[in-house]
Amino acid sequence: MNIVEWFDIKNPDHIEAYKYLRNMGSWPIGFIPDGTEFPPSWQIGIINKMAEEWIRIWTAMINYSRPASMPRMEECDDKG
């Protein structure tokens, strides 16, 4: 099992464990299942998953609260 595939950004326990890793420099004891593989760029993979979720949530919030006259995010071209 790959740590990036296993790590669930919607699981509060996983987020708390990541915050522990960030503050303490290691995962909490017993958090990582036995046999978990760590590819060379596992940190980037987990951070990417968190960033994608952050973008998904904020896009939904922006589209929910936008005035009717403002185009939805997916309707905008690269120029904004």
Sign of the Cα pseudo-torsion (22, 25, 29, 30, in order) = positive
The confidence score (pLDDT) of residue 59 equals: 84
Q: Please check whether residue 3 is in contact with residue 17, taking contact to mean a CB–CB distance below 8 angstroms.
A: no
What does the pLDDT profile of the chain (80 residues) look like in tens digits?
999 999 999 999 999 999 999 999 999 999 999 999 999 999 999 999 999 999 988 888 776 666 666 666 555 555 54
The confidence score (pLDDT) of residue 57 equals: 86
Single pTM value for the model: 0.70
CB-count exposure of residue 28 (10 Å: 0-12, 13-18, 19+): middle
